[in-house]
Structure 1
Amino acid sequence: MNSQLKKLILAGLLGGIAWGIVWAVLAPYLRMLGYSGSEYGLMGSTAVLSGALFTFLGGTLSDKYGSRRILSAGLVLQSIALLLISTGRAYYVAGGFFINGAANGLSFVAQEALLARTGRDEELHYTFSYVTAASTLGGGLGSLLGWAPVIARDVFGIGLVEAYRYTIMAASILPLATIPLILSISERMAHGKGGGYGLLEAARRFTRRFYIVAATNVLIGFGAAMSIHNIDYYFAAKYNVTSASLGSVLGLQQLAMAALMTQMPRLADRVGGVLKVYLALSYSSVPLLIAMTLTNNFPLAAALYLVRSILMNVANPLFNAFVMRLVPLELRGTASAFLSLSWTIPAGAGRAVGGWLLDKDLELPLRATAGFYTVALTVLALVFKDEISRGEDMSMGMTGEGLRDVLFE
């Protein structure tokens, strides 16, 4: 493992810890402050929509100036956002959600482009899987730190709301600690510089199957935002859990996914394709969404959620690497932005709708999500059925042009 990949893995680990802490603590914290499901969903929606705007900006700037600077700017914004949210004051929290969305938009697309420009193309499915596994491991460790506020309350007599606030403030330090690592990584650029293509100009270079992938992103993004993005509030409202229980569930999910993600590249090579692995696992997750709505037992619901989340997400890095290998170096930031926009824009609406539905019937968002996932995965299976049957979508023996023909015919 080279030094570049080690730096990316460490950066992913630190970023994951910060995200995991906030994921475990945020919903219980805001609910104790009196925020409703509709308010939580609406603020999440503004974060997703601001993320969409800055995703486009981040993609074009990453291609023109390089991904490292854009990723670092996103990390600074993330730290500021967490400090604002930690105050608990309505306007500051709303502003923090908006800024955090912008930070995530910049950071995600820049990180995807940076990964796609580090190392050889034929090894990208390993790079994406290992770095994502490290980030997921960090998310698991951070989620388990959801116990920290509860322990602080019991041992030191600190009010739980204050303990939540201090935990979010502490998490804001980690994005800043990641910046020196990011800036020290070398980045491959086409002809020594970025392309700087605008979205419309780049769009003319993408073809039919690329847009079909984007269309399935629309369905999955809207469906996921309706329920999975609000799942912390769902558990808090239905079972009245604290960040300790919630953090345990989310932490175990991330730890299991981190371990399994490192095995996915070898599995894809062995069975003959990432799409075959991705679809088989993702389809298996859908019935578990419905099963969650049929129980009132938290341990059982948590177990179903754990397995569902692992099946739906563990092969995502392979699929992301597959798409990036089909895009020229100078367009990988813009392509990442385009695909991210196709996911985040509908997700902004989906999160607001899901939050509204939570106030009407807690189970409706999960059931609707199962339907959206089924349609999206079926479209992918039908469009790529020939490639899946031949097992050629991720063959290491194919050339770059051969791979490109799979999606860009």
Structure 2
Amino acid sequence: MKSIGGVQAPLLVLAALNGLSFGVIVTVLAPYMYSAGFSGTEWGLLTSTATVTSIIFTLLSGPLSDALGARRVVAAGYIVKAASFTLLAVPSTVFMAAGFTLSGVSMGISWSATTALVARSGRDEMLHRSFTFFMASNMVGGALGSLMGVIPPLLSSITSLTLLEAYRATILLVAPLSLLQAGIALAVREEVSAEGRASIGPGELLRGFREAVSDRRFRLLILFNMVIGLGASMSIHNIAYYFAAKYGVTSAEIGVVNALEQVSMALVAVGASRIAERVGSTLKVYIALTSLSVPLLVAMTLVDSYVVAAAIYVVRTVLMNAANPLLEALTMRVVPRERRGSASSILSLSFTLPATAGRAIGGALLDINLELPLRLTAAIYTLALAHLYMRRRFLEEGRAWGSRRVAGELLEEARAPQ
């Protein structure tokens, strides 16, 4: 099967299409709901519905990926996503709630299964590349999808459609992409032996979770992910609504910002992966980049220009997220390959559980003070990264790839053409 940089081509196509559809939705959804009259509190409650419903399906997704294969579970998630997009195109509370509910189901099914699929798509020593290239491809697709934010204002100006109707039409346009993604997911080769597959049942489910969390480093990384998830959900997940409310921008302006963010993130992510290979530590690179992003969160709240705020936001987001594949690779390496589905469920839950409360809290805070969620997030990130830095040696000892000793042994192989 053809590969690019050692990563399967179908996996990269899947990532690009996922980024495309997500880029459109994340760009259009907030101004769409704002123009439909939904308040910040309603925005927060409705979006948190998705995180609530994702919890149950996230619990099932990982073990099912271990038993049935991750690619099948990923395909099922994209089919559900197509239905959720269709419902979200109806601007009524009932249909929006149903759409966000199915969105949560889709997120729960496919998120952890996708992580497991990437973690089992190639050799362990090259996982940092698998996660990095997957993310980079996703970001490029996300940039194209974000640029499609110009469609609603353009469609409204050249037709008789109102801006609200144009938003609805754009959302409906991307629903079929999810069905295409379901087919592509089935084409990915998943490297796990039949003997390594888990069985299905409550006992096996609990056993999978227990074995996944047996490593203390994995438990520490999960705790860190929970804190980051809380901070991100309070402000960053609501950022489009923040921009629409503070500056009165439409999806066109938000789309351009998202596109710049996605392309920049893809480039920096690939660079971060190469730096990690040279430095011999995935964690050092991750901490260095993310720490630089925190002061920029506060800086966003001190300006009154959308152009300036958007520029700061792009730099902040790139620094905070470009190194995420390095942390994911480190997290997955401390878990046995046959239990990475269960581990990815735990990893997903560690982010979505605090995000359930965080989105609702952040949405309510937007109605009180637009700047407060960003400032609280900066404080939360600071505490979390400081703790991670203090535990860095423990996290990269032994069989963790990030240790200088192991990375040095693999460096020459990593440089070899794939």
TM-score band by shorter chain is: over 0.9
Matched residue type, 1:343 = F
Partner of 1:219: 227
TM-fit CA distance, 1:397: 5.9
In the TM superposition, what are the counterparts of 1:4-403 in structure 2 within 5 Å? 5-196=8-199, 197-199=204-206, 201-204=208-211, 206-385=214-393, 393-394=401-402, 398=406
Matched residue type, 2:242 = Y
Cα shift readout 1:148-188 (whole Å, capped 9, x = no counterpart): 11111122342111110010001111111112211122212
Cα shift readout 1:124-166 (whole Å, capped 9, x = no counterpart): 1111110111011111110110001111112234211111001
Give percent identity, aligned residues only.
44
Report SS of the residue matched to 1:198.
helix
Distance 2:169 2:285 in 1: 41
Partner of 1:2: 3
Measured on the aligned residues, the alpha-carbon RMSD in Å equals 2.0
Cα shift readout 1:302-360 (whole Å, capped 9, x = no counterpart): 01100000000000011101111221111000001111111110111000000000000
Give me the TM-score of the superposition, normalised by structure 2.
Answer: 0.92
Matched residue type, 1:54 = F
8 Å contact from structure 1 (residues 146, 246) kept in 2: yes
**Distance of aligned partners of 1:393 and 1:280 in 2 relative to their CA distance in 1, 3 Å threshold:** farther
Distance 2:208 2:57 in 1: 18
Stretches of structure 1 lacking an aligned partner (at least 5 in a row): 403-409
Report SS of the residue matched to 2:63.
helix
Cα shift readout 1:64-98 (whole Å, capped 9, x = no counterpart): 11101110110011110000000112101111011
Distance 2:137 2:303 in 1: 33
**Distance of aligned partners of 1:111 and 1:207 in 2 relative to their CA distance in 1, 3 Å threshold:** same
**Distance of aligned partners of 1:93 and 1:254 in 2 relative to their CA distance in 1, 3 Å threshold:** same
Give me the TM-score of the superposition, normalised by structure 1.
Answer: 0.94
**Distance of aligned partners of 1:338 and 1:167 in 2 relative to their CA distance in 1, 3 Å threshold:** same
Distance 1:379 1:266 in 2: 25
8 Å contact from structure 2 (residues 229, 351) kept in 1: yes
Question: What count of residue pairs does the alignment treat as equivalent?
Answer: 400
Matched residue type, 1:84 = L
8 Å contact from structure 1 (residues 190, 329) kept in 2: no
Report SS of the residue matched to 1:109.
helix
Report SS of the residue matched to 2:122.
coil
Stretches of structure 2 lacking an aligned partner (at least 5 in a row): 411-418
8 Å contact from structure 1 (residues 275, 393) kept in 2: no
